[in-house]
Structures are given as C-alpha cells and as structure tokens.
C-alpha cells in the first residue's frame, strides 16, 4: 500500500523540494498551502524540478495556516507521516520578535497535536542550526546535535534564532508529555542553497542573488555553513523512513563554513566576465556597526560578524548514510538557477 505523506508549506523553497522527492520516491503527497491559489505555484515548481506531470492525482492540497487551528485535522487525515517544513523566515528582522516566535512555536504544536490525534506514526520537523549553535561564547569546536542554543546566556540572538529554538523545544516537550505513540525526528540545516524552483526566495538565496547581481558594494565579515536543498529534502525522507531516526536530531551541513568573501570569489570565478561587477572586498566591522542604528537587518546580523560557528553532520552520515553534495555545488546550483536581470 502506498504511504501518504503530508508536507507542510509545499510552496516554499524546502517544502517544494520535499514534495518533489517524495513524489519521485513513489509516495502519495498532500501539502498544505495558505490559500488555494498557491496550488498552481507548487505544481509549477514540480515541473521546474523535472516532474512533467506535476504530481498528477498523487498530489493533493489542504488549506491551513500556522496561526489558526482550522484545517489541520483535515490536512493530516489519512496520512502516515508528516514532514513539518513550514515556518516563517523573513528577509528582514521584525519589529516584534513574536511575529516569528508565535507562529513557529504554536504552529509546530498545532501540527503535532493534529498528527497525534490522527494516528500519524512520525513527524519530521524542519528545525535549524539556529536551535543549536547560538547564545554560546566563541569556540572552535564543531557543534553537534547534543548542543542547544542558549537563550539565557546574555549573548544576543535574533528573533529567528529564538523562534526556531523555542519551536523545537516545544515540539520535543509535547511529544514527551502528550505524544502517546507519536514519533518525532528533527532536521537542523545550516544555510540552505541549491536549485531555485520558484520565485519566493529564502534569505540565503537572496544573499547569493545580491552577490551575483553586484548589489553589495562591500561584503559583511561573516561565515556560515551551507547545505544543498536537495540534500536537506533527502535527509527528511531518511528521517521519515529509517527506524533509528525516531527520537533523534540531525544536523545538515556540507563540509566546513565559508566566508562571504569566499562565496563571492567562487561565484565571480564561475561567471567569468559576467562576474566582473561582483565585489570581493569586505566591509570593516566598525562600518557595519555604524549602520546598525539605521537598519533592523544590519542590527540582526551583528551577532554573526566575525564569529565562526562550525557544525558536524557526522551523525546523519553515520546513522542514516546521508551523503551531501559539496558546498560549492550548492552555491553554483543556486547561481545557475536564478533568473537574470
């Protein structure tokens, strides 16, 4: 009997790729969208990803929103497993951190509660390295799944980091207290890049586009981990199907971190003459700090300036046999898939 998978947020960057890979693997898929109009967007992304029939009748839709109870019972009905991918990830810092925290945390609990009540076997939650590697003093030690972001250390963290940490904490607490037979696994990716199938770009993809288009006169002094969206989706499917994944967290990263300058150099070399306008010069830290009072986005990035946070994907590789593409391939796949102009 073919299993049915619910993927929340199927129109998003990660969600669409999860839908694509689940369909390619032979599953029936239902995905949640906020409005019926987004169904066409999901199908167009599947075609862009190489699925000519856009899922056909093996793909169905349910309208549900993280901020409301309505629709979630219908969304999970008849599903064997759930990939809860949907989560707010804005391009700029919100004025009120609860604009991110509330839908991320309460939305995760809505999905888990509905899944439990429907007899779903397992939920795979898309968390983030944001729930692991922040709020700590500088360290050269790679973070692992045993680490949690410390929100009480006094080290500044962004609203997004808080939202992902509190949402994942709430999910584990719920399953322990009220989950009954429901299993939970989490996938904790770093910055996600790779082929862009639609027009709603993640913050990571927007950064690559800004570099490629030469819109950054100077680069921030930041370093970050990278993983390909195709490998993130593959890890979700492994966490969904492998028995040993139940009750586990899995970091997703390809190799070591890269600086913004290293990323720009890679893209510039890849584009040849077309990359002549790409800057590879780094903005002094003092200049970025001087801009902070005038921009929420800049203020939100200050905790990352000059800080290197490494992570290890050894657990996913050892336990699940996960093998990601190189970080360079992820970056260049992003560049090549973005429209020009």
- Domain presence at residue 289: no
More confident residue, 139 or 95: 139
Helix (H), strand (E) at residue 35: none
- Domain presence at residue 264: no
Which pLDDT score, from 0 to 100, does residue 306 have? Answer: 80
Confidence of residue 200 (pLDDT cuts 50, 70, 90): confident
Angle between helices 260-271 and 327-337 (to 10 degrees): 60
- Domain presence at residue 234: yes
Number of domains in the chain: 1
Q: How far does Cα 93 stand from its chain's mean position? A: 17
Per-residue pLDDT tens digits for 10-38:
999 999 999 999 999 999 999 999 999 99
- Domain presence at residue 87: yes
Which pLDDT score, from 0 to 100, does residue 216 have? Answer: 87
Helix (H/G/I), strand (E/B), else coil: 190: coil
Are the C-beta atoms of residues 308 and 161 closer than 8 Å to each other?
no
Structure tokens at 145: 């799944």
Which pLDDT score, from 0 to 100, does residue 235 have? Answer: 98
- Domain presence at residue 41: yes
Residue 68: which domain range? 4-197+226-256+310-325
**Residue 192 belongs to domain with CATH number:** 3.40.50.720
Q: Is the pLDDT of residue 88 over 80?
A: no
Per-residue pLDDT tens digits for 292-306:
555 555 556 667 778
Per-residue pLDDT tens digits for 249-271:
999 999 999 999 999 999 999 99
Are the C-beta atoms of residues 29 and 42 closer than 8 Å to each other?
no
- Domain presence at residue 291: no
**What contacts 233, CB < 8 A, 6 or more positions away?**
14, 17, 18, 20, 21
Q: Which member of 95, 164, 289, 315 is catalytic?
A: 164
Confidence of residue 2 (pLDDT cuts 50, 70, 90): low
Q: What is the pTM of this model?
A: 0.94
Known catalytic residue at 164: yes
């Amino acid at each position: 009997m073919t299993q049915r998978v619910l993927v929340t947020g199927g129109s998003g960057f990660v969600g669409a790729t999860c839908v694509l890979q689940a369909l390619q693997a032979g599953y029936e898929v239902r995905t949640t969208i906020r409005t019926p109009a987004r169904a066409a967007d999901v199908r167009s992304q599947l075609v862009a990803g190489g699925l000519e029939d856009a899922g056909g009748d093996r793909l169905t839709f349910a309208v549900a929103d993280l901020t409301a109870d309505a629709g979630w019972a219908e969304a999970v009905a008849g599903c064997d497993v759930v990939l809860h991918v949907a989560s707010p990830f804005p391009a700029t810092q919100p004025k009120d951190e609860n604009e991110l925290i509330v839908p991320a945390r309460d939305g995760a609990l809505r999905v888990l509660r509905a899944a439990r009540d429907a007899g779903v076997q397992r939920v795979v939650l898309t968390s983030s390295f944001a729930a692991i590697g922040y709020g700590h003093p500088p360290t050269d030690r790679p973070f692992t799944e045993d680490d949690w972001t410390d929100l009480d250390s006094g080290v500044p963290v962004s609203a997004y980091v808080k939202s992902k940490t509190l949402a994942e904490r709430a999910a584990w607490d719920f399953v322990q207290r009220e989950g009954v037979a429901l299993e939970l696994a989490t996938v904790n990716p770093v910055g996600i890049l790779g082929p862009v199938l639609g027009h709603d770009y993640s913050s990571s993809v927007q950064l690559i586009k800004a570099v490629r288009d030469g819109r950054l006169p100077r680069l921030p002094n930041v370093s970050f981990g990278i993983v390909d969206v195709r490998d993130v989706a593959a890890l979700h499917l492994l966490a969904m199907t492998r028995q040993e994944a139940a009750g586990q967290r899995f970091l997703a990263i390809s190799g070591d971190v890269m600086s913004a300058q290293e990323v720009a150099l890679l893209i510039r070399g890849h584009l040849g003459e077309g990359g002549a306008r790409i800057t590879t010069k780094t903005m002094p830290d003092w200049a970025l700090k001087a801009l902070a009072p005038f921009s929420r986005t800049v203020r939100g990035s200050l905790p990352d300036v000059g800080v290197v946070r490494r992570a290890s994907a050894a657990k996913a590789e050892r336990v699940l046999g996960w093998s990601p593409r190189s970080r360079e391939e992820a970056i260049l796949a992003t560049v090549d898939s973005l429209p020009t102009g």
